[in-house]
Amino acid sequence: MSDHKPDADATTTTTSTEPDQSKRTSFKAMMAYAKPHKLTFLGIFLCSLLGISAELLQPYLVKIAIDDHLAIGQTSVAFLVQLAAIYLGLAVISFVFTYVQNNLLQHVGQNIVSRIRKDLFRHISKMSMSFFDRFHIGSLVTNVSSDTETISSFFTQVLLSLIRDGMMLVLIIFFMFQLDPVLAGYSLLVLPIIAIVAVLFRSRLRKAYQNARTRLSRLIAFTAENLSGMFLIQAFHQEEEQKKRFSEKNQDHLQANITQARSNVIFNRTFDILGNAALVMMVWLGGRAVLGESLQVGVLYAFISYIRQFFQPINQITMQWNTFQSTTVSMDRIWKILSTRPEVADPKPQDANKLEPQFVMGQVDFNDVSFGYHPDRALIEHLNLHLYPGEMVGIVGTTGAGKSTLISLLNRFYDVQAGRIEIDGTDIRQIPQANLHRIVGLIQQEPFLFSGTIIDNVRMFREDISREKAIEACRFVGAAAMIERLPEGYDTRLSERGSGLSAGQRQLISFARIVVFEPRVLILDEATANLDSHTEQLVQQALETVSQGRTTIVIAHRLSTVMHADRILVMENGEIVEEGSHQNLIAAKGVYADLYKHAREAGEDHTAVSG
């Protein structure tokens, strides 16, 4: 299954070759998240302006002290103290505004990202199953965690740099031209060189970054898959093999990161060299002018200070360029998810049928249904199936026959490609999904329990369902004794996926969950497949209790699970090839009778044999 899913790196590669238009769209979409914070951004802008102005006035103040007082011997201690106080005052002002500006930016940046993360999670949880067939869980985890983190650094670092450093650059140039236009002109000569260096390094840095991200995504996806399949790896003694594969991916990631870091260092050091060269040029040109008495010493001092400060914002902005690159990639990836519409959509309010779950009778009709996971490869064609309210139907058939697919369609995990599925005569596409899932309850082979208490799991964290009701449900399915034996009873905290419990215990809890939610149509997909015969008996009893008065579909390989059903369907290659009661099907001597014979020969279904 995992082989045909594109992982995060595939997404990245597509992103990298896509036209800039896509990046622009995603950038605009993400920037829309900043809109509600317009006023705060205005505050940040003003704080930056005041903070930087205070900082840049300091060299100017020293220049006044040197040229207008010290150089011509017109000064006094009182004046120097006054000057020092103003200098200090400017430093304090600069500090205060920079502090406020930083805090505002952090606050607004974190809020924006928290909002994006929330939307992303909500959006992913609304996606249809076909979406999860296409995307690796590992890469989705990367999207929710590290891509949003990258966007966070955009708002807190890149944007700060753009506002603060951009403004600083403009003000420095302004001050330099104020002081001496000729020297200022020389200083700006270095700008085209900087632009050339930036362009030369740009594609190299970008490639290095994307490569590092790709490797990281692969590593995360591999780790996530291995952790969830760890029991299998150990059971097949594949630890060494997997360790080797992990090491290769880890090594790839290490190399990519080193290359990225190396490119960064080269880029930054080149900038340092350029900065120092400009400084030397300034000392040489300015020094000569001072010697020729065409320039005042104070002006040269101020120029040298500004040149130092001049390279700092340029360096910052170019350094942030890297983060900006990663941000556009991350934004694009996140926007791709956010702009993917679920293939299974809720009906428009005017088309929705408000079938109230509690009034549903439970009649289920598959009318001329066709479906395939790939549109050009049909799995089910023109299938008709009608279930009466309260009927229990068993479905058996060889592996891959399409049994689970049938119930995925009834749950609307996928939509039919032709025909209709109806509940009480209403097309399920007209029933809002929240209602549909209250009408149709599903218990799978491997019930999914969340980390939390048993009570939380039974009532699915819904506070509006009382504890008493949840406990009553556990009693109803015969799970009470087992739960009460646990150290903290109903408040026992389960680890991820309920790994502290046995398969049977987990299944009983999922039965209790179904009782709480009272679906009118109940589906069990191999729900007893993993259980030992004693636990299976317990679960079978629970099933009989739970299925009372509900339309129930039971999918099973073990015939003993379904032989008492009102009707048994036999599926082959997406078709229902036989149907009838156990006795009728045995008498018909068809596929079911064969399956039954093989089961008897294999020693399974002892109950069936003796029954």
Ligand X SMILES: Nc1ncnc2c1ncn2[C@@H]1O[C@H](COP(=O)(O)OP(=O)(O)OP(=O)(O)O)[C@@H](O)[C@H]1O
State residue 569 phi and psi, 5-degree precision.
-110, 140
Query: Binding residue for ligand X (CB under 6 A) from 74, 76, 399, 610?
Result: 399
Size of residue set near ligand X by CB under 6 A: 11
Helix axes 38-64, 77-126, angle to 10 degrees: 160
Q: Which is nearer to ligand X, 163 or 576 (CB)?
A: 576
Evaluate whether 120 touches 148 at the Cβ level (below 8 Å): yes
561 is an interface residue for ligand X by CB under 6 A: no
405 is an interface residue for ligand X by CB under 6 A: yes
- Kindly give, in sequence order, each residue whose CB lies less than 8 Å from that of residue 507, ignoring residues fewer than 6 positions away: 443, 447, 527, 528, 530, 531, 535, 539
Evaluate whether 551 touches 390 at the Cβ level (below 8 Å): yes
133 is an interface residue for ligand X by CB under 6 A: yes
Q: Which stretch binds ligand X (CB under 6 A): 12-20, 105-113, 184-192, 398-406?
A: 398-406
What is the four-CA torsion angle of 77, 81, 84, 89, rounded to 10 degrees? -160
Return d(Cα 416, Cα 408) in angstroms, integer: 10
Q: Which stretch binds ligand X (CB under 6 A): 194-202, 280-288, 399-407, 424-432?
A: 399-407
Q: Which is nearer to ligand X, 111 or 404 (CB)?
A: 404
Site for ligand X in 346-385 (CB under 6 A): 373, 379
Cα atoms in the Cβ-side hemisphere of radius 13 Å centred on 493 = 4
Termini Cα distance of the chain: 40
Q: Which stretch binds ligand X (CB under 6 A): 26-34, 201-209, 392-400, 502-510?
A: 392-400
Return d(Cα 336, Cα 515) in angstroms, integer: 39
Q: Closest separation between CB of residue 490 and ligand X, Å?
A: 33
AA letter at 375 = P
403 is an interface residue for ligand X by CB under 6 A: yes
496 is an interface residue for ligand X by CB under 6 A: no
Length of the chain: 611
Site for ligand X in 256-295 (CB under 6 A): none
Give alpha helix (H) positions in 143-238: 148-153, 159-160, 166-179, 181-188, 190-228, 230-235
Q: Closest separation between CB of residue 529 and ligand X, Å?
A: 9
Q: Is 460 left (phi over 0), alpha (psi -120 to 50) or beta?
A: left
Q: Which is nearer to ligand X, 147 or 526 (CB)?
A: 526
Two structure tokens written together for 476: 């109803």
Q: Which long-range contacts (CB under 8 A, 24 or more apart) does 177-180 make?
A: 179/63, 179/299, 179/302, 179/303, 180/295, 180/299, 180/303
Site for ligand X in 19-78 (CB under 6 A): none
Query: Binding residue for ligand X (CB under 6 A) from 51, 275, 402, 519?
Result: 402
343 is an interface residue for ligand X by CB under 6 A: no
Q: Which stretch binds ligand X (CB under 6 A): 16-24, 93-101, 397-405, 576-584?
A: 397-405
573 is an interface residue for ligand X by CB under 6 A: no
298 is an interface residue for ligand X by CB under 6 A: no
Return d(Cα 355, Cα 359) in angstroms, integer: 8
Q: Closest separation between CB of residue 275 and ligand X, Å?
A: 57
Two structure tokens written together for 2: 């995992």
Q: Which stretch binds ligand X (CB under 6 A): 358-366, 401-409, 432-440, 460-468?
A: 401-409
404 is an interface residue for ligand X by CB under 6 A: yes
Q: Closest separation between CB of residue 404 and ligand X, Å?
A: 3
Q: Which stretch binds ligand X (CB under 6 A): 83-91, 119-127, 279-287, 395-403?
A: 395-403
Query: Binding residue for ligand X (CB under 6 A) from 190, 216, 401, 529?
Result: 401
Query: Binding residue for ligand X (CB under 6 A) from 36, 185, 287, 400?
Result: 400
**Binding stretches for ligand X (CB under 6 A):** 133, 373, 379, 397, 399-405
